[in-house]
Amino acid sequence: MARKKKGRPIHGWIAVDKPAGITAAAVVARVKRALDAEKAGHGGTLDPLATGILPLALGEATKTVAFIMDGAKTYEFDVTWGAATDTDDRDGTIIETSDARPDTAAIEAALPGFTGIIQQIPPDYSAIKVGGRRAYDMAREKTPLELAARSVHVHSFTFLEAANSDHARFRVECGKGTYIRALVRDLARVLGTVGHIATLRRTRCGAFSENRAISLENLEALGHKAADSEYLLPVGTVLDDIPALALTEEEARRMTLGQAIALWPVVKRSPLIGPNGPGLEQGTAVQAICGDKLIAVAEVGNGMVRPVRVLNH
C-alpha cells in the first residue's frame, strides 16, 4: 500500500527574502511547514551569510527549477580589504592579512577585467563535487584541493561607494555558477591586497526581484493563507522567456500521457511564431499550454513536440 503524502498540494513559486544566518534548506523547511505544503524546493541557493531573493518552488513548480537556475542574478555586497579568510567571507577564519588598500581609481580600472566571460576557480568552501565529495566537506577536513577553473558570465561589475579605505560596496549582475566570493578574492589580488565578503544580498534572481518578495517572518505569520495570497506566483512564472505553443484539448491529453505531437499543426495556429519562427530550431524548450493551463515543459525536434516534464496540477 502506497504511503499517503503529507501536506497540501500547493503549486507555484514564492520569492522569499531570506534573512542572514540560516541556510537555504532551512528556509525551505520553514516555508513548507508554515504552508503545510506537500512538496517544496529552492531555485538557486544562498550561503547562510547572504540575504535576499530565494525563489521557492512548490508542488509542480519544482519541475521548472532548472529555468530559474539558468537565469541572471544581481547581487549587492560589501568588501573588507586587508584580510583574507578560508571561506572568502566574514564567517571564515583569517588566513592572510595585508596593509595595502586600493583607491577608487585602481578599483574602477580593474573591474573591466572581471566582466564578460571569465575563468573563475570556485572557493574551496563551495558545493562543487571533487571525486564524488563536496569541496566544503574536504575543506573542513583540511584536505588539499585543486579546483578547476570554470567559465562564468559576469554581465556587469559596478563600484558603488567606499565608506572608508577598508570597505567598498559593489553590484554584480551575473549568470549561472558565478561565485561572488571568488570575484572578491580575485579582485583583491589584482589590486595588490587581500579581501573578503562582509555582507551579501541578492536583489534579483531570474524573474524574481525584491518587489515580488515576502520576508520569511511575514510568510510564517500568514501561514496557510500565504497559499492564497499575491505572493504565490504561477508555475509558469520562470518560463516567460521561452516560446508558448497553444494545444487543443486532444493534443493536451496526449501530452499528459507522455506522447509527442506533430509540431506543424500547432505552429499553424501560432501566427506570431510561424514554421521557422524565432527559437524553434532543434532542441528548443517550449511551454505547452491548453487554454490558460500549463500542460508541460516540452522540446521541439524532428518535426515533433515532445514533453520533457508533464505538470499535474
Burial category of 64 from C-beta neighbours within 10 Å (exposed 0-12, middle 13-18, buried 19 and up): buried
Would you call 78 a catalytic residue per the annotation? no
Q: Residues with Cβ < 8 Å from 30, sequence gap 6 or more?
A: 216, 220
Instruction: State CA 62 to chain mean position distance.
Output: 13
One of 17, 47, 86, 186 is an active-site residue; which one?
47
Q: What are the grid coordinates assigned to 68, written together?
A: 530559474
Q: What are the grid coordinates assigned to 35, written together?
A: 504552508
Among candidate residues 306, 212, 290, 285, the one with its CA nearest the CA of residue 12: 212
Q: Residues with Cβ < 8 Å from 203, sequence gap 6 or more?
A: 52, 53, 74, 75, 76, 209, 210
Q: Residues with Cβ < 8 Å from 292, sequence gap 6 or more?
A: none
Dist. CA 37–CA 171, nearest whole Å:
35
How far is the CA of 87 from the CAs of 52, 96, 118, 142, 171, in angstroms?
20, 12, 21, 12, 20
Residues annotated catalytic, as ranges:
47
